[in-house]
Structure 1
């Protein structure tokens, strides 16, 4: 465990040893990638490796005090660069920088050298985007944000939890009835997405099935000791099961626990490293088990026909290989960079038109709503209109407005992060601001798909918070709902 006196900071100040470990980890990745790149016949093109070095260098800037005066693990600028960067490095970028790229699913006619030049362009654009993000953050002015009045500890929080969990439970029940049974719903993973129940009755039921995943996060924001209660973990596991049953998404089932760990760290102002190692091991096993279950459902008629072979590690490796492919041979961003503007024209803002429709179910809108970047990528570049391939925010900005688009979009996003930091710094103990802030720094990015995901998280967070406050004010059959103006006040 990393120990030391952690300075007081709402962002959870970075310890010297943590800084050394992070810098050392980046150096290790760079050195190992360089050894593979220059020391083997299958190494990457020198220009690709050089672009990879430039990207990692820009990525590491927030780790240094000369760049960020008071870095913290949850500082929005630090978190975005470190979280996004390390995650991408460990799930494909380091492999790409070291070994290059021999083929790409969306660019079948291109040779290795041409593909590696596209990969180099991708790294340089990522570095440019980070520089623009830093510039936008530091050029933005500090904003004086009023402090929200701290609510009293809720007396009926468990009752609100039970009421809220009715929503995802009913959603899964409706999907199960349409499928024939819960077992048949679980078998939906083995058929095409356009043939699943949600495609017939509306994907909003899938969304409702996932609204329970925010409950443990908001619960911890209200009660920092909530993780000691068995009911807390029952709700967390139930919400994860419900969203997996409805969507079959392993990440949707794992992410709630990651958010719980981050919320706990923020509330207790320390990182439980031992618990995180245990949780990481459990997550790997779950990824393997859920991946094996998903694979086993393909081509079977009943749940009884599903046979699990017990190859958890093989399934986990297959899941990891799939993540690596998303950054290499099936990278939506590189598909865009290799196709625009030669084969496909710039969108000129078209993909961003989908953002205002994020809160409107497609069933309630007459006609088709505009497509987000992922759907457009799959349709126009991959030639598969029934699916979606994320472009990433950098790929989407380039597809819309070329190089100036990348700079402009990320400068603006830097200003957004500065504003978010101002809100959190003034309200770092408020139980509604804590989860909204965490979902912002974890999920928000300047892309249509990423904005979709963030707003879809914000809505249930606010809804559950208001439910907690409302349930706590029920008196003899009457409800006293706090006025909006009463929520804000100087402390």
Structure 2
């Protein structure tokens, strides 16, 4: 499996993109240098896959490579049969992005920025790996602690179910305030920001259902993959979360998280389940995207749910992936740092301000996504706070550079490495503890050092705490009652007998 990953990266990620560009005549004098730096970055990503032979698929340094390849294959399966013909990675001489800082770049400057970004990305991974292994050395002696399963864990499924039902109730109240279910879905096509503005607390509460499902999968005494209650709850909750939030990636990552927890508990990869989930994820991206991007509609087009439109779902998903890649959000933020100026930690302040609702602190700092839209894409000055606007995603490397330059990349990469090293050590020490398993998967899926992703970790961590706290409360109430009931049913005969 590992050498299959290496072979895939070399053929499809390193060699095919520049070759396809060269055949198309889309080259200049810096093409070879860019191909070398891009290739070095791809190799840096799979270094742990090559050399960490004892690391499992869900090791924090190995998982990103497998996730990247799985995503490529899921969204563009045809490229597997067309090496050196179809490329899944953008390699052009002129940026296709509409970002203000990229749209007027000549081929020379565009290639130079691309090369610089690859070099800084390599620096990020070098810092991450170095600090991770420094932390990992301290944890080499750690052995798993065998502990008795806490009694309250028997109530995790009940707690998770109650949290899910509470989240559905909150969602129904949101739909009512939006004029009904159909009106809410239609409004998403006009723009998620406009529709969801001012509902941040309620949306966060609804998304707690995802973590409740994670806790159910991790905390149930036996895996609930065949439990009718778990399956029905999952099928009920995930569509509701999407309808509330409008984010398809939220649902796709929820599916990946559930599969990861199941695989870690089973100590093997459920390949058939993963393949089915991959097909479902691509279909969801396409069908839900068709609904959300039907900008002129005044009602929900339910015909898109017809399985006969499966080919259309795949085409829609593939087209959107291409369009998102063409935005070049990471490069836009990187170039904005050079052309517009640094933002000096403003996006990271949003993490500290995150627990405070915007209804209380209206002008609290915003994430790097909002700055990317306002400055890099709209071309506004970098000074001052970004106003209310939707966010165009940028990764942790671009955000770190935009805040503090190369120093920021080293600091953020090192911080991520230290956190993953510490988390892995804690997971090893407490293997078998469902709360640590869920927390580990949350970090694995969402944490990369970016401001937006860190907010997700805080939000989902609080949701996890709520699920387990509720289970403890249920145990304190029902556990005590059952103990008293057992005591009443079986009296102490020694005290009842005459002396």
CA 341–222 in structure 1, closer or farther in 2 if over 3 Å, else same: same
Q: Which runs of structure 2 are paired with 1:17-32 in the superposition (5 Å)? A: 18-29=1-12, 30-32=14-16
TM-score by length of 1: 0.84
Q: How many correspondences in the alignment?
A: 454
Could you tell me how far apart the structure 2 residues matched to 1:276 and 1:153 are?
31
CA offsets per residue over residues 164-216 of structure 1, 9 Å max, x none? 123211221111111121121121212234432x324x221122221111222
Q: Paired residue for 1:165?
A: 164
Could you tell me how far apart the structure 2 residues matched to 1:84 and 1:332 are?
17
Could you tell me how far apart the structure 1 residues matched to 2:376 and 2:19 are?
34
The answer (yes or no) to whether the contact 1:427–1:433 under 8 Å persists in 2 is yes
Question: Cα offset for 1:91?
Answer: 7.6
The answer (yes or no) to whether the contact 1:291–1:316 under 8 Å persists in 2 is no
CA 85–357 in structure 1, closer or farther in 2 if over 3 Å, else same: farther
CA offsets per residue over residues 239-278 of structure 1, 9 Å max, x none? 2111111122112222221111111100000001122112
Question: Cα offset for 1:374?
Answer: 0.8
Question: Cα offset for 1:312?
Answer: 3.8
CA 269–345 in structure 1, closer or farther in 2 if over 3 Å, else same: same
Q: Paired residue for 2:492?
A: none
| Segment of structure 1 superposing worse, 122-131 or 417-426 | 122-131
Q: Paired residue for 1:433?
A: 436
Q: Paired residue for 2:258?
A: 260
CA 320–359 in structure 1, closer or farther in 2 if over 3 Å, else same: farther
Q: Paired residue for 2:285?
A: 287
Q: Paired residue for 1:3?
A: none
Could you tell me how far apart the structure 1 residues matched to 2:71 and 2:268 are?
21
Q: Paired residue for 2:376?
A: 381
| Segment of structure 1 superposing worse, 382-391 or 236-245 | 382-391
Q: Which runs of structure 2 are paired with 1:258-337 in the superposition (5 Å)? A: 258-296=256-294, 298-303=295-300, 308=304, 311-327=309-325, 329-337=326-334
Question: Cα offset for 1:158?
Answer: 4.2
For the pair 1:104 / 2:97, whether they are aligned, the reply is yes
CA 286–130 in structure 1, closer or farther in 2 if over 3 Å, else same: same
The equivalent position to 1:205 in structure 2, one of 184, 202, 205, is: 202
Q: Paired residue for 1:50?
A: 36
Question: Cα offset for 1:123?
Answer: 2.0
Q: Which runs of structure 2 are paired with 1:124-163 in the superposition (5 Å)? A: 124-140=119-135, 142=138, 150-152=149-151, 154-163=153-162
Question: Cα offset for 1:335?
Answer: 0.5
**Residue 291 of structure 2: SS of its match in structure 1?**
helix
Question: Cα offset for 1:220?
Answer: 1.5
The answer (yes or no) to whether the contact 1:55–1:126 under 8 Å persists in 2 is yes
CA 102–429 in structure 1, closer or farther in 2 if over 3 Å, else same: same
Could you tell me how far apart the structure 2 residues matched to 1:465 and 1:476 are?
15
| Segment of structure 1 superposing worse, 89-98 or 276-285 | 89-98
Q: Paired residue for 2:336?
A: 339
* Higher Cα Rg, which structure: 2
Could you tell me how far apart the structure 1 residues matched to 2:53 and 2:471 are?
38
Pairwise CA RMSD of aligned residues?
Answer: 2.9
Structure 1's unaligned 5+ residue stretches are 1-17, 481-491
CA offsets per residue over residues 422-463 of structure 1, 9 Å max, x none? 110101210110010011111101111110112122111121
CA offsets per residue over residues 306-347 of structure 1, 9 Å max, x none? 6548644334333333333333x21221112222222x1112
Could you tell me how far apart the structure 2 residues matched to 1:479 and 1:340 are?
63
